[in-house]
């Protein structure tokens, strides 16, 4: 493995950490309806746990209501039960062939809990990024020890990886600030 490979690998792994953080933050519910809230809900589809998006069309009806339209009429009650049992604080109601899922407005206390959750997710992402930096620096030291790169190259590469780490940590901070603002907006 060369110095360039280590840098490229670090960049890719840190980018994956950012993508994971974005996915985790999208699951944090704000006051508005968001179809991503139901992404991890599993429906009992003829004895097989299946994601809700594979058995129904999930859309936004308005700013506070999610619409779930099952592809099979028989699945209506199973989907409704799965949403209720998912412990999301949602209370679906079926109207003919459509399930309406109103999202209740968040209380001030709940908003503060959400901010804490967002900060925890962000800290986990920062830890992951720092661990990638540590692994990369150890790989560089190993290259130096095996005399596959010079001390100057190793030092420059460590500086580059630190700059990369700083860049991604700043991106995490920006994502957290945006999500915090979104959660606290009434």
Closest CA to 17 of 165, 158, 157: 165
Range 35-102 has CATH code 3.40.50.80: no
The closest of 92, 103, 86 to 70, measured between CA atoms, is: 92
Distance CA 120, CA 118 (A): 5
pLDDT for residue 97 is more than 90: no
* Correct CATH for 3-27+107-184 of 3.30.565.10, 1.10.132.20, 3.40.50.620, 3.50.50.60: 1.10.132.20
For the stretch 30-77, pLDDT in tens is 666 777 777 778 888 888 888 888 888 988 888 788 899 998 888 888
Q: What is the pTM of this model?
A: 0.67
Q: How far apart are CA 33 and CA 31, in angstroms?
A: 7
């Amino acid at each position: 493995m060369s110095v360039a490979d280590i840098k490229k690998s670090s960049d890719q792994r840190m980018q994956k950490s950012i993508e994971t953080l974005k996915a985790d933050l999208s699951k944090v519910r704000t006051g508005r309806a968001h179809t991503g809230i139901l992404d991890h809900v599993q429906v009992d589809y003829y004895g097989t746990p299946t994601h809700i998006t594979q058995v129904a069309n999930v859309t936004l009806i308005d700013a506070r209501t999610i619409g779930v339209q099952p592809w099979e009429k028989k699945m209506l009650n199973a989907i409704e039960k799965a949403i209720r049992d998912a412990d999301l604080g949602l209370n679906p109601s079926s109207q003919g062939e459509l399930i309406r899922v109103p999202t209740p407005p968040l209380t001030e206390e709940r908003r503060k809990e959400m901010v804490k959750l967002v900060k925890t997710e962000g800290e986990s992402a920062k830890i992951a990024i720092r661990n990638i930096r540590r692994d990369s620096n150890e790989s560089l030291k190993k290259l130096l020890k095996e005399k596959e790169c010079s001390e100057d190259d190793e030092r420059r590469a460590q500086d580059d990886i630190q700059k990369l780490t700083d860049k991604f940590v700043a991106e995490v901070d920006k994502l957290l600030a945006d999500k915090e603002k979104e959660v606290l907006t009434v």
